[in-house]
Structure 1
Amino acid sequence: MAQSRKQFVEQFIDTLTNPKTNDLKRFLEEDVQKTVNSKVVYSNIEEAKEYYTKEQDGKTTSQWTIVECEPEDPKTNTLRLRISHGNKTSDTLYTFSSNDKVQRIDAVN
């Protein structure tokens, strides 16, 4: 991967602040899964588009921000970050596929 995974996630969250989330295929695998507090909130890219559209709906000033980033773990293809959105900060683990796209997102508020 030419860019760091942190830069990749930064670009991903920048895309999320744009109400048009059509560019998610650049970042997410088709069968991407996200959990929040161990509950599955989406399990494919179409559900991800719906999820992020709802998250942004009416929240034009609310942006995702990386608060803290741990070093990448190349053995497990993961990156752990603390991400702030609205009034919540989440400990978030991104797992990457062999295609260097996000395969799984696990967040704990």
Structure 2
Amino acid sequence: MGEIHSSHHKAEEKCDLLLRKNQSIGEVLHKQTKLEQNNYEIRLRVTIFSCRFLLKIALPFCGHDEMEKSNNKGLFLKVLSLIREDNEKILKVTLENAPKNEKLTSPTIQKDIDNGFQKR
């Protein structure tokens, strides 16, 4: 196994940590609260709705500059913002109120949703 600071020892230690039941990815996902699951579902539904709307009328998703202070953030974010204005639940869990590591508003996810509807 080598010395305590060897690559082999560090790899074995990381493997042991990964295999511990209470630290596995499956366990973490299982521990997600019902509220977190509901909030994610709200964010996912509004993202899909916004994408479907723009796809149906053949409008572009992104704007020239989607920075926080930009006046032209793109139609996807505008549609999402309009939906948020009328629904308190959606307002509380989307955009700046969503978890920082969530990527539902990213262009990659938008393209995946687009590809899913194109294959229908």
TM-score computed with the length of structure 1 as normaliser:
0.29
Q: TM-score, normalised by structure 2?
A: 0.27
Structure richer in helix, relative to its length: 2
Q: If you compute each CA radius of gyration, which structure gives the higher value, 1 or 2?
A: 2
Quick one: higher RCO (CA 8 Å, sep 6+), 1 or 2? 1
